[in-house]
Amino acid sequence: RAEVVINGSSSPAVVDRSNESIKHDIQPASSKWRHNQTLSLRIRKQILKFLDAEKDISVLKGTLKPGDIIHYIFDRDSTMNVSQNLYELLPRTSPLKNKHFGTCAIVGNSGVLLNSGCGKEIDAHSFVIRCNLAPVQEYARDVGLKTDLVTMNPSVIQRAFEDLVNATWREKLLQRLHSLNGSILWIPAFMARGGKERVEWVNELILKHHVNVRTAYPSLRLLHAVRGYWLTNKVHIKRPTTGLLMYTLATRFCNQIYLYGFWPFPLDQNQNPVKYHYYDSLKYGYTSQASPHTMPLEFKALKSLHEQGALKLTVGQCD
Ligand code: CTP
């Protein structure tokens, strides 16, 4: 039983009380969707009770110093030391300080984007968020190019850049980082111990080659705060995905939020196969017990918010 109840409302926005399997038919992009400003503002206010994206988007320089010990969020028994490089790259002020945007795009990585022709529409938004350094150049027609913030889980270095085993892979990563050209690179460095070296390699590369990116490292409380918000609204997620984290943060500084590439299902609405990622051959693993995510449940919550006009999900072709 999944339901989304928006707290503090006189008429709670309860979505789905059925125990049926998840139905995920979304109206085509062209059909009528109207932004519900009142609901968006209410959601922003409620999320602000749990976290403040302006602050929680990154730990700031003033709050840590080299040598400080941090306990990983998901591996409390493991610790890391704040390195000199990490310290150098901590922002002095929030990269989102006093930022407000009319419309924002959050681009997930589902293969549903392929042949969507959504590139232009995505690039037309004032602020574009992408996930896990997903490639754009070769897919520009479908995913666009504009990138204002891109996330990078440390595991991406292993998955997409062969753990920088040789100069070729290091160069590939370096080129990708250079292409970010001043945008925010958001690195969850304090989540799990596995990413320690990978974060250090990236930090080193950025400093050594004077890469023009604005690094941000999410606060230690962000993940639990995001989870807390959704749990309070009866969305029982295990560990929020990057996509859901980005939506939750974006409510703070975006008036209207448009989601693309969110489709954690192997078939599209016409029963055609959909790749897990638009750019690689990773397989669907979200249903396995081992996966920390509950993507279909997240999707259900997002779909409900779409239906209420709090966000717009595009899962087909753009006009
Ligand atoms: N996503 C989706 N459907 C897919 C693939 C991804 O809805 N088939 C969304 C999810 O919200 C995901 C985001 O797009 O978080 C980015 O995709 P990906 O890089 O695959 O993220 P994850 O592997 O889930 O990374 P993480 O573990 O950081 O959440």
- ipTM comes to 0.97
pTM reported for the whole predicted model: 0.92
- Measured from the Cα of 262, ligand 1's closest atom is 7
| pLDDT band (50, 70, 90) for residue 25 | confident
- Interval 102-118: pLDDT, tens: 999 999 999 999 999 99
Cβ of 36 closer than 6 Å to ligand 1, yes or no, is no
pLDDT at site 32: 87
Residue to probe by mutation, ligand 1, list 109, 244, 262, most atoms within 8 Å of CB: 109
Cβ of 101 closer than 6 Å to ligand 1, yes or no, is no
Cβ of 151 closer than 6 Å to ligand 1, yes or no, is no
Q: DSSP string of 13-35? A: -------SPPP-----TTS----
pLDDT at site 59: 98
Of 193 and 286, the one with more pLDDT: 193
Q: Please pick, among 125, 277, 293, 306, the residue that the annotation labels catalytic.
A: 293
CA distance 211 to 172: 13
Residue to probe by mutation, ligand 1, list 22, 73, 106, 110, most atoms within 8 Å of CB: 110
Whether 293 is a known active-site residue: answer: yes
pLDDT at site 284: 81
- Interval 180-230: pLDDT, tens: 999 999 999 999 888 999 999 999 999 999 999 999 999 999 999 999 999
What is the chain's mean pLDDT, rounded?
90
Helices (H), the chain: 37-48, 53-56, 84-89, 119-123, 140-143, 155-161, 167-178, 196-208, 222-232, 242-253, 295-307
Kindly state the tokens that stand for 111.
């293969």
What spacing in Å lies between the alpha carbon of 118 and ligand 1's midpoint? 18
pLDDT score of 14 more than 90: no
pLDDT score of 164 more than 70: yes
